[in-house]
Amino acid sequence: MYAVRRWSVRHARFLERLYRLFGGALERLDPIWRMMGYARLEKPVAAVEGTIKGFLFDCRMCGRCVLGSTGMSCPMNCPKQLRNGPCGGVRDGGYCEIKSDMRCVWVEAWEGAERMRQGMTIDIVQLPVDNSLQGSSSWMRAARERAAERREKVTGGIAFGGARLKDAEPQ
């Protein structure tokens, strides 16, 4: 897994494009997801997502994926589970202070971000991990949120029956 994770960082630009295309496709399928029910799809999609992202990024399925902001390097691989930048204990050659045979996740994140078109989003401070989302699908959550934002822009925030879309969205 470690070798594939390193490959993913080296090919961050390609994976960024692929990630954006895939995310757009999931968003466009929102009417189908709503008809089937997001809650019903959560477990099977999370299983597929965990397998794919586990292989490519050694993903820990925190539920709030930030790969697009961290150069395709999952910050949850940091032994200290830091969501924002290196701890300051980076060894020579960019190796982790705790796992001396592993490159620092954040050194790799910066290298990957430099390769990405929107790599400077690494500067955005990430929120702490919400452990209640552990193991859930960030793909479905992101698709649902983006589709709701798009519908709100189109309708001015008003859904059928006069309710605001944010209030009418399924949880």
pLDDT value at position 3?
92
pLDDT value at position 49?
94
pLDDT value at position 158?
59
Q: Kindly tell me if the per-residue pLDDT of 39 is higher than 60.
A: yes
Domain ranges of the chain: 2-168
Long-range Cβ contacts of 127-132 (<8 Å, 24+ apart) = 127/64, 127/83, 128/83, 129/62, 129/63, 129/64, 129/76, 129/81, 129/83, 130/63, 130/64, 132/63
Regarding predicted confidence, which is higher, 169 or 134?
134
Name beta bridge partners: 38.
none
Alpha carbon 83 to its chain centroid, in Å, reads 12
pLDDT value at position 157?
59
pTM over 0.75: yes
The C-alpha atoms of residue 43 and residue 41 are separated, in whole angstroms, by: 6
pLDDT per residue over 52-95, tens digit each?
999 999 999 998 899 999 999 999 999 988 888 888 888 989 99
Q: What Cα–Cα distance (Å) separates residue 30 from each residue in 7, 27, 35, 43, 148?
A: 32, 5, 8, 17, 9
pLDDT value at position 164?
53
* Mean pLDDT on 93-102: 92
pLDDT value at position 155?
75
Q: Kindly tell me if the per-residue pLDDT of 166 is higher than 70.
A: no
What value does the mean pLDDT of the chain take?
Answer: 87
Q: Kindly tell me if the per-residue pLDDT of 120 is higher than 80.
A: yes
The C-alpha atoms of residue 82 and residue 84 are separated, in whole angstroms, by: 6
